[in-house]
Amino acid sequence: MRQGLIDHARRRRADKRGGDRKRQTLLNVAGQAAKLAALLDVEAALAQLQATSP
């Protein structure tokens, strides 16, 4: 009984501190950053195109 109460308290404490979050590897984060950089490059190119030919 005691062990069950301890496990329950640990799970609650873990959930309270982000225990339900999904972990990501650095490779996933780097891939997302590369996609974001490419999107920003496209946005900059479109802004430049709009400025030169409205």
Confidence check: pLDDT of 54 > 90:
no
pLDDT confidence of residue 32: 84
18 backbone φψ class: left, alpha, beta (φ>0; ψ -120 to 50): left
* Tens digit of each residue's pLDDT (9 = 90 or more) over 5-22: 888 888 877 777 776 677
Q: Where are the domains of the chain?
A: 23-54
Q: Look up residue 10 and give its two tokens.
A: 């640990």
Burial label for 6, CB within 10 Å (0-12, 13-18, 19+), is exposed
Tell if the pTM clears 0.85, that is, is over it: no
pLDDT confidence of residue 19: 66
What is the mean predicted confidence (pLDDT) over 21-46? Answer: 83
Averaged pLDDT of the chain: 82
Helix ranges (DSSP H) in 1-54: 2-16, 26-52
Q: Looking at residue 22, what DSSP letter applies?
A: P
Q: Look up residue 16 and give its two tokens.
A: 């309270």
